Amino acid sequence: MLYSAVLDQRELQGEQLLLTTLVVQVAVAAVLSTMLVRFWWFRRILLTEKRDWPERLVFATSLGIPLVAGVAIRWLLNFPPADLTLPGAFLAGLLAGPYAGALVGAAVGGTAVIWGEWIALPFAVGCGFAGGGLREICPKEAIWHFSPLFFTDLHRYVWKLVRRFQIDWAVLLLAAPIGLEIIRQGLGHRFGMHRLFYLQPPTIGFLILVVLATVLCVAVPIKIWNSARIEHRLQEQEKLLMAARVEALASQINPHFLFNTLTSISSLIRSQPETARVLIVKLSGLLRRLLRSQDHFVTLRDELEAVDEYLDIEQMRFGPRMKIEKDIDPATLDLVVPSMLLQPLVENSIKHGIEPRVGEGCITIRSTLQNGHAIIDVIDNGVGVQPDQAPRVKGTGIGLRNVNERLQVIYGSNYQLQLDSVPGEGTCARIIFPELNVPTRISA
């Protein structure tokens, strides 16, 4: 008698007790549906409309166990709001089919039979079959459109019925739990409270509230589960969009790299034909490497090897004018980075820093780990740019813009290419990204 005792202490009697019970019952339905959708196996079942028998059994079990517990709690603790027999069995049939609904109804009704409620078993099974039958004739997507705010569109449904003699599926979804609740009220009055549990409304107005609560106990879980479905689909769309953008950016950088390298080779064909021939051989090897790899993410070790092949080509062109230094933290070599991320930075340092410089130039590639992030610097001692021109340089060149966009697409808008330059002394291009050691594959 715990529930009644608590309510009696607050001086809730008659209509107040019934109204409180209805409100708590809807809250229990909302909490239960929210808890279930947090489990990955339950959420996965919601995403597909065509389910095999193992998935239907998992769905029926996941929903049936708390419903059976609710009936037991009603009896043992005298807590009527925990009993969701009607909406629970109906929901199981509506979302998983008539047999799953009947299975849940049999489990819930069978539990009530233990305490002598003989009418509960056939009634609960009938609710499951009713939901399943409605699922068979109703468009599957219409089920997910059933909302707790259904009453705001009632005038549209009535107008459509009057004007076109066309019944909206939402009307059938609304009529089913209403009809089942009216049947339960009739059976309860006929056979008594000891044979079938039901809430006894003292007036017609409270009967309407009881029916409304039953409808909400069906509509609220559907709304919560549909929100989870939509959220999951949006996440999948975001993943596909990110993969498409990464693919597009990667496809953009390869022709840009090839064009610039061929331009470098063309300048040597007449003056140094042998050097040009060696460069073409090295370029073909580098392109073969790029074509073999379909991964958009590689380890920093592999990325540095690709940069070395590119630098071999450039060092043959510049000769002793260009010096390469590396300061690589061994702990960073197995970190995952977007492929072809460093090559545009190195290329930019050579083209806009070292090439215009008079005398020997030096490029330094440095990597470190700091606070769970990897920091990679490409530093040159070239001609540099004015500090106020650094943002413009980052946004206009194809290579640098591509690197900047890929960082933001993959890691978020907080991760961007940083350029620090001092005129006449050189430029530092810095990229910072989260420390990831497990390769991530995003295939085209």
pLDDT tens for residues 311-323? 887 787 777 888 9
**299 and 421 share a domain?**
yes
Residue 404 has pLDDT above 70, yes or no: yes
In degrees, to the nearest 5, what angle opens at C-alpha 213 toward C-alphas 211 and 218?
100
Domain of residue 381, residue span: 267-434
**271 and 231 share a domain?**
no
Query: What integer best gives the mean pLDDT of the chain?
Result: 82
The mean per-residue pLDDT over the stretch 68-74 comes to: 95
Give the chain's domain count. 2
The mean per-residue pLDDT over the stretch 313-339 comes to: 86
**182 and 313 share a domain?**
no
Minimum mean pLDDT among 4-8, 73-77, 281-285, 402-406: which range? 4-8
Q: Give the burial class of 347: count Cβ atoms within 10 A of its Cβ; 0-12 exposed, 13-18 middle, 19 or more buried.
A: buried
Q: Render 283-344 in DSSP notation, one character per residue.
A: HHHHHHHHHH---SEEEHHHHHHHHHHHHHHHHHHHGGGEEEEEEE-GGGTT-EEETTSHHH
Indicate whether 356 belongs to any domain.
Answer: yes
What pLDDT is attached to residue 191?
92
CB count within 10 Å of CB 230 equals: 11
Indicate whether 283 belongs to any domain.
Answer: yes
Residue 10 has pLDDT above 50, yes or no: no
**99 and 194 share a domain?**
yes
Which of 215, 235, 255 represents a domain boundary (last residue)? 235
Residue 443 has pLDDT above 50, yes or no: no
**36 and 157 share a domain?**
yes
Which of 219, 235, 251 represents a domain boundary (last residue)? 235
**182 and 276 share a domain?**
no
Indicate whether 281 belongs to any domain.
Answer: yes
Give the residue from 217, 18, 193 showing the smallest Cα distance to 120.
193
**144 and 278 share a domain?**
no
**176 and 287 share a domain?**
no
Indicate whether 13 belongs to any domain.
Answer: yes
What pLDDT is attached to residue 173?
85
Residue 444 has pLDDT above 80, yes or no: no
CA distance 288 to 54: 47
User: What would the pLDDT profile of 236-277 be if each residue is shown by its tens digit?
Assistant: 767 656 666 656 555 555 566 677 677 777 877 888 888 788
Residue 209 has pLDDT above 90, yes or no: yes
